[in-house]
Structure 1
Amino acid sequence: MAPLPYKKPLVRYAIQAVKYHGHKRAAVLLGETLAPFVAEELAEHQMFGSFMNPLLVPIPLHAIRFHERGFNQAERIASALCNTLNCEGMTLELHLLERAKHTESQAHSTSRAKRFENMKGAFVVVDRERVVDQDILLLDDVMTTGATLSVAQKALYKAGARNVLCIAVAH
């Protein structure tokens, strides 16, 4: 699920403001904007007994990229989303997934195949016991080809997650 179009100037501006400049207010606005979409998606899953107490897991940055930026934009958006939804039955997990491999920025990859190749083996689950039989909301800022979310999702499934729902602010 990625409800907002990245090609819209205001959406692109807000995401870039968070991602490259650390604007906290833009992260809050993106989390607030994403909240009703996530609430609706969760309600649909909950009708069938899943995602009753999901873990909210933002896509992690590699330590090098985190050091360069000083923050993780997905964490900021996830925190704002959780606050907007009052974290009802949801647990924000900031250190469940780790970026094991420093990758080239996906924004610089030109093809879908190159993006998937770039991300191969990029994520590891830090606490496997915490993941087993859990429903997980996996959050990123932008989904272009789905490579980042797909590779992270596979790592979570491999660790025993029951369901993993991929969410991005924009596509």
Structure 2
Amino acid sequence: MRAAIFTIDTESYEAKKKSAAGEALKRMLEQNRLEVKAAGVLPRDQEVLSTVFRQLADSGSIELIITTGATGYLEQDCAPRAVKEVSEQLLPGIPEALRAYNLRYSKKAMLDCMAAGIRKHTLIVNLPESAKTAKEDMEYILSEVVQVVESINL
């Protein structure tokens, strides 16, 4: 399975800094035999995110796009809106399960606006900004993510 991981953070993008969350997710996915074909930092810009998601999904080169960050309720938290904009089908159960899972640690999880959806043969999932939380969340949903990707690519 070919994956892309993007941290959504304008300051890190402009400073060309790597992301701790992105690196943690990359290691975890590779340990689970997923091929990370692209990884990086993108600005908090819905148009940029939507364009990147469309290009990757429409090219057929990536089957899984994971984002970390920009999942809150503020105007600049545009990752969920970008997923909703480009998806042909939303999978609300994934973010619902993650919010429930994360509520065990913090009531602030109820303010998270993560989204998940399918475009063509690509699954797109938003995860929180924290490296620890993003990695734990991905571990929690990994088997279901693999199942979705495999089934939409039959």
Same fold by TM-score, threshold 0.5 exceeded?
Answer: no
TM superposition score category, shorter chain reference: 0.3 to 0.5
TM-score between both structures, scaled by the size of structure 2? 0.38
Larger C-alpha radius of gyration, 1 or 2?
1
TM-score between both structures, scaled by the size of structure 1? 0.35
